[in-house]
Amino acid sequence: MTDYGHLIDSELITLLKKGNKRAFAAIFNKYNSLLLAHVYKKTRDREEAKDIVQEVFTMLWVKRDQIKPKSNLGGYLMLAVKHKVLDLMGHKNVKSRYFDSLATFAMKAENATDHRIREKQLQDMIAKEIAALPPKMQEVFLMSRENQLSHKEIARQLNISEETVNTQIKRALKALRLKLGLVLYLTMFIKL
């Protein structure tokens, strides 16, 4: 019975190419710890390191007939784990960016929805308070704010003085300020 542990890499490769499982086991025993240590330094995750090394050895067995007998087996295996680690890191980076963008999108959507709900509630509150104004004051105020008419145009349409229009709008704003609060007044009714 041959002691495969003492064979050089080129002899092990020749036997491996023929499907010799004991040669494969000798290669595994010779390089497994070295590859695990190398991958662990890069990933800092023992399970990922084991998975990567296992994938490399599986690939070695599957593609054994493509390996050249004079190959530097250690270098070949190190290069294979390096590529697997780079693939893993690239995948993690893409995955991380995807989840970051998904979280950002969700946050923006949540904020936009929350903003629309609060805006609607505010509009309803303002409409309710405007509806509670005395009829003439309400009419003058709505012509000013909704129809964007000047005090002069409102006065002419309602056949009242410009001073009356000015007074009605000031009283409407004062009443709304008291009912809705100063903050709402400042944010919603800047125009005088």
Q: Helices 162-180 and 73-131 meet at what angle, rounded to 10?
A: 120
User: How much of the chain is in helix, strand and coil states, percent to nearest 5?
Assistant: 85, 0, 15
**Which residues of the chain are modeled with pLDDT < 70?**
1-2, 69, 91-112, 114-115, 181-192
End-to-end CA distance of the chain: 103
- The region, left, alpha or beta by phi > 0 then psi within -120 to 50, assigned to residue 61 is alpha
CATH fold label, 4-97: Rna Polymerase Sigma Factor; Chain: A (1.10.1740)
pLDDT at position 108 is 67
Predicted pLDDT at 190: 46
CATH of domain 132-188: 1.10.10
Residue ranges of the chain assigned to CATH 1.10.10: 132-188
Sign for the pseudo-dihedral over CA of 120, 121, 122, 125: positive
pLDDT at 93: 64
Q: What is the model's pLDDT at position 133?
A: 82
Quick: pLDDT tens for 105-137. 666 666 667 667 777 777 777 788 788 888 888
CATH 1.10.1740.10 boundaries in the chain: 4-97
Nearest of 32, 40, 41 to residue 5 by alpha carbon:
32
Report the pLDDT value the prediction gives residue 191, as an integer from 0 to 100: 42
CA gap 185, 175 in Å, rounded? 10
